[in-house]
Structure 1
């Protein structure tokens, strides 16, 4: 973590309204990450809503599939027919889901201080961070690693822009002969992201 990141993290900690989450601001252990994936009603954080989030620990070269979580939330607006065909979550699936606060009460301790690994993390963070900030007073302090950028650097040797292959998770999976578990399911996507990360890193 650079000194600038440390300074930002220290400032964020002063905004924390939930002391029980102070450990999120400590230095993470080496070789520990958490893979995360979210499903939303759409791609616009200003008008769409989070439906589910999945997270799974990566410890060294091991994905801890026995200790993952998949949390279904109840959004303020139910998903419509057009988006149900993408994420598969119907009104019947989410209307009894947990509140965003209840979801974060489970998710944030599970994330802890681990760096977050995801695919297209900018979008996931755009949905998660406003909820997190309302819940604990500040956004997530964790380092965020986007698999797309790691893969682009690996195959092209530079960091400018993204390769066409890196725009699609299934192309990265195919490159490493990783089996697809079924897309647009938050837990499956988190597991596949974790598997790809272990190859790319």
Structure 2
């Protein structure tokens, strides 16, 4: 199934108070695995960015002054997302900003039923625990080494890994390396994990322990074949 993992950065926290999008990062996943297709752009919000927001994502007014407006790329965003379900962490926040920008242009907002909130999934799975994106990455051993500040595409990539884990784990063999993916300033974005576990897992039993176990089974167990042993 095709899904879109999405993250946004904004000028503030409330679209109803006139705050705007300044960055959108989307990653396409198919059956929970990234396909390599992305949508990532910075936008000129046509207003100042609040200092508290800058402290979170590090995006300044000067950095987006020459960027396109959301209106210039709205159709490209709609085409990329298509009718796929949208995965986001604290989805009501991202949905509020996306829908506000679409409605400003007279376009249909996204249906709330399309959105999957990983924060709600995490709270159900880990009640009473910290369930921020950072906390979940640490819990699932997803590296945050490349994450100095929030960034929409990088956070979407991290969230794709978290969503995989919340949906059943690395048994699907997700490779979180971002081969060939770069941010708009040309910097390569990489998220690393330790790869898929080998199968079967290597044994850590000492040879003497293995022989002792075999001797015990042959002496005391009636069903010796249960352990794969047969008397000589």
**1:105, distance to aligned residue in structure 2 (A):** 1.6
Match of residue 134 from structure 2: 170
Match of residue 230 from structure 2: none
Contact 1:54 1:70 (8 Å CA) reproduced = yes
Matched, 1:153 2:124: yes
* 1:91-112 superposed Cα distances (whole Å, 9 cap, x missing partner): 2211111112123121111100
**1:63, distance to aligned residue in structure 2 (A):** 1.2
Contact 1:73 1:103 (8 Å CA) reproduced = no
Match of residue 162 from structure 2: 196
What is the CA–CA distance in structure 2 between the aligned matches of 1:144 and 1:172, rounded to whole Å?
A: 19
What is the TM-score of this pair, normalised by structure 2? 0.65
* 1:25-70 superposed Cα distances (whole Å, 9 cap, x missing partner): xxxxxx2210000001111212222111110001113112x32121
**1:136, distance to aligned residue in structure 2 (A):** 5.0
Match of residue 87 from structure 2: 117
What is the CA–CA distance in structure 2 between the aligned matches of 1:102 and 1:116, rounded to whole Å?
A: 22
Match of 1:185 among 138, 151, 159: 151
What is the TM-score of this pair, normalised by structure 1? 0.75
Moved over 6 A (4+): none
Match of residue 52 from structure 1: 23
| CA root-mean-square deviation | 1.7
What is the CA–CA distance in structure 2 between the aligned matches of 1:132 and 1:43, rounded to whole Å?
A: 17
* 1:134-162 superposed Cα distances (whole Å, 9 cap, x missing partner): 33532113610010111222234xxxxxx
What is the CA–CA distance in structure 1 between the aligned matches of 2:5 and 2:106, rounded to whole Å?
A: 21
What is the CA–CA distance in structure 2 between the aligned matches of 1:81 and 1:42, rounded to whole Å?
A: 9
Contact 2:90 2:120 (8 Å CA) reproduced = no
Contact 1:63 1:195 (8 Å CA) reproduced = no
Match of 1:140 among 86, 92, 110: 110
What is the CA–CA distance in structure 2 between the aligned matches of 1:153 and 1:192, rounded to whole Å?
A: 20
What is the CA–CA distance in structure 2 between the aligned matches of 1:150 and 1:86, rounded to whole Å?
A: 24
Unaligned regions of 5+ residues in structure 1, if any? 1-30, 157-162
**1:174, distance to aligned residue in structure 2 (A):** 1.1
Unaligned regions of 5+ residues in structure 2, if any? 168-232
More helix by proportion, 1 or 2?
1
User: What is the aligned residue count?
Assistant: 163
Match of 1:74 among 41, 44, 54: 44
Where relative contact order (Cα < 8 A, 6+ residues apart) is larger, the structure is 1
Match of residue 3 from structure 2: 33
